[in-house]
Amino acid sequence: MTRLRVRYADTDRMGVVYYANYLVWFEVARTEWLRATGWSYREMERDGLTLPVIEAHCEYRQPARYDDEVDIAARATLLTPVRIRFDYEVTRPADATLAAVGYTVHAAVDAAGKPCRLPARVREMLA
């Protein structure tokens, strides 16, 4: 779980979080999830693996606004030996309101940019 405070720069003219920022928050939560497993994106890339986003989806339920705190939960699921899906929930902890839900799908790609199998350590984390 990652907690952020909505910055003024995150909002649109109506004072609501700009829709694309949810995808940025998904990335923050995904990065922290990976770090919590003991393997950072930097280390993963150093080991020759990247996880580009090949699909993204977000459903906006209730608005988040300037200065709100939001919690972003990320959960990973192995889809295939070469694909992983992350599901996200964005909530406002002050009132337990679900602001958004979404997911991203990632392909495992080697240093040459070719699809590859997810390493055993990743598959084991998700089993």
Q: Is 95 a catalytic residue?
A: no
Q: Which of 10, 12, 71, 95 is catalytic?
A: 12
| Residue 124 CA: distances (Å) to CA of 81, 86, 116 | 11, 16, 16
CA-CA distance, 3 to 114, in Å (whole number)? 34
Torsion angle of alpha carbons 23, 24, 28, 30, nearest 10°? Answer: 30
Positions marked active-site: 12
